[in-house]
Amino acid sequence: MKTAAVVSVSGAAEGRRVTGTSVPAMELQRAVGAASVLLILISGVFVSVSGCWGRNEEERLIHHLLKEKKYNRELRPVERQQDRVDIFLALTLSNLISLKEAEETLLSNVWIEHTWNDYRLTWNESEFDGISVIRLPSKLLWLPEIVLENNNDAQFEVAYYCNVLVFSNGLCYWLPPAIFRSSCSINVNYFPFDWQNCTLRFTSLTYNAKEIRMLLKSDGEGPGLHTVEWIVIDLASWTENGEWEIVHRPAKRNTYKHIPMESNKHQDITFYLIIRRKPLFYIVNIIIPCVLISFLASLVYYLPADSGEKMTLSISVLLAQSVFLLLVTQRLPVTSTSVPLIVKYLMFIMVLVTVVVLNCVVVLNLHFRTSSTHVMTMWTKKFFLEVLPRLLRMSHPAEPEPLWDGALQRRSSSVGYIAAAEEYYSVKSRSELMFERQSVRHGLTARATPAAVVKPQDDGGVMDQLYGEIKPAVDGANYIITHMRNKNNYNEEKDNWSSIARTVDRLCLFLITPVMTLGTVIIFLMGIYNIPPALPFKGDSHDYREDNARLLSYGQ
């Protein structure tokens, strides 16, 4: 650079000598341009060197921690063999995806927060340009290898092995995400008005209680220091589940004294999810249609037996209940320990509808009985036609009385006709003699009959002739009367059986409908009053919530 400047200056001086002319403005412009180019080159080199120097410091720190100190990820970060590594855990729930009752599996999206100290990963910040934290791949560092013990798919690892934040004092912070399928024992007693207690139990399958100590994370500073005894929910990233509502979410460190410390079952960190089902979906899609269809069975008793639809309606209701039962059983686990509430209701309704079908069979049998197939006893007629209808408030339409102009004369027997034949034969014709009484019954005016003059007969041939002519007509009339009387008795007997069938219908209506209504109310009230406990643990007065935080002290 100096040589170039000297050459340019000497060239300018030579030019002045040659031309003999002074050009101060041109020389000043050239000097400023040269200085600007020099400053740009110097600043670029400085920026490039400084950038390379910063990257080299982080690389040098990583080389110092892993290579120079000969870091071994297979060894526990303890100075003495009898020392234990304290592992602080916290769980952040991002999404409660689903709870599959048939498989008894809880699917959840979580972040597992691990914190521990590794004395081998400490450095002096002043020696490395003030670097206080670095990010190292988790595959290069020692990990506590804490897994979900009650998983349901044999996937013990997390979903993604993210980097570990390492601070200058040796503190390691690891927050891997995971989608866990944990086993959850389902209690179906009050389905769909149930609540479940699902757990996520974490333990180390590699290290026992003498090698690591699993603790709940502590948060805050000074007087506000507390132990995080709950599942953390970040409202900014939380996704509400449409079927389940979280009631309690405590976290607890469990130690089992009866299990030796050499076993990895001696300790664990358990996160509890006490969740309550939102029953609106099942109320709208199963319960309400089921109840409405069930009460259609009561309408069977309003159908007349002659319609032929009583059995059709009752069996249709029974088949509909069977379809609902099939839909419900597909959502529930196969268990013989308990019967779900909705299944209890469906079985109750199916029993009632079966009784309704049997009632329909009995009613139809009674309705179509006749005097030629069954004999109605007096107590049956008395109880079902007089006593029971009065108790059931049943009313029968009054029989219309015929309108007569005068008193209905009593029918004469054939002997009467024969006795009066001598008086009538000479005055009235045979047709008038046979149908005079029927004309009177139908409201027609009878023609007055003048008194006949009875002449003594010396010969009895006239009476014999008259008797022989009128006897067949009288016998025919008596046959018609007897047939009509038998037919009236037959119809009356049939009407009595039909009335008994209607009485049994009304009796079953008054019995089945209250039982169905009362049973429906009682069964579903059992589910409505099935609520989760006010506190997560029985006998523990602490509620494990953020607004009632406390600091736990752990012994050595």
Q: CA 226 → CA 64, 217, 219, 230, 410, distances in Å? A: 36, 9, 6, 11, 111
Per-residue CA distances from 56 to 11, 59, 295, 312, 469 (Å) = 45, 5, 82, 88, 148
378-401: b (≥16 Cβ within 10 Å) or e: eeeeeebbeebbeeeeeeeeeeee
CB atoms within 10 A of CB 299: 13
How high is the pLDDT of residue 26? 57
Which pLDDT does position 432 carry in this prediction? 56
Q: Which residues contact 541 (CB under 8 A, 6 or more apart)?
A: 535
Cβ–Cβ contacts within 10 Å for residue 268, how many? 21
DSSP character string of 451-514: PP-----S-THHHHHHHHHHHHHHHHHHHHHHHHHHHHHHHHHHHHHHHHHHHHHHHHHHHHHH
Segment (H or E) for 427: none
Is 497 within 8 Å of 376 (Cβ atoms)? yes
Tokens of 192: 């769909």
| The predicted structure's pLDDT at residue 232 | 95
Look at residue 3 in the predicted model and tell me its pLDDT: 37
Q: How many CB atoms lie within 10 A of CB 203?
A: 22
- Cα–Cα distance between 158 and 187 in angstroms, integer? 29
Residue 554 CA to residue 556 CA, distance in Å, equals 7
Q: How many residues does the chain have?
A: 556
User: What percentage of the chain carries pLDDT values higher than 70?
Assistant: 78
The CA–CA distances, whole Å, from 456 to 47, 449, 484 equal 168, 20, 40
If residue 270 lies in a helix (H) or strand (E), which one and from where to where?
strand 267-277
CA angle, residues 461, 464, 468, in degrees to nearest 5? 140
Give the pLDDT confidence score for residue 25 in this predicted structure. 53
Q: What are the average pLDDT values for consecutive 10-residue runs of the chain, which has 556 residues?
A: 36 38 53 58 44 66 92 92 93 93 91 95 92 93 92 83 94 94 91 93 92 93 89 89 94 93 92 95 91 89 84 89 87 82 91 91 87 81 84 69 48 47 49 55 54 49 72 81 81 83 89 92 91 92 91 76
| pLDDT score of 310 | 86
Helix-helix angle 461-528:341-367, to 10 degrees: 180
Q: Which residue(s) pair with 218 in the sheet? A: 227
Pairing of strands 195-204, 85-100: unpaired
CB 499 within 8 A of CB 385: yes
Per-residue model confidence (pLDDT) at position 514? 92
Give the tokens for residue 108.
Answer: 């959840």
CA-CA-CA-CA torsion sign (543, 545, 548, 552)? positive
pLDDT (0 to 100) of residue 399: 58
* Tokens matching residue 494: 């049939």
What's the whole-model pTM score? Answer: 0.70
Q: Which residues pair with 178 in a beta bridge?
A: 110
β strands within 6-142, DSSP E = 85-100, 105-122, 133-136
Q: Is 133 helix (H, G, I), strand (E, B) or coil?
A: strand
User: In sequence order, which residues have a C-beta less than 8 Å from that of residue 488 and are 6 or more positions away?
Assistant: none
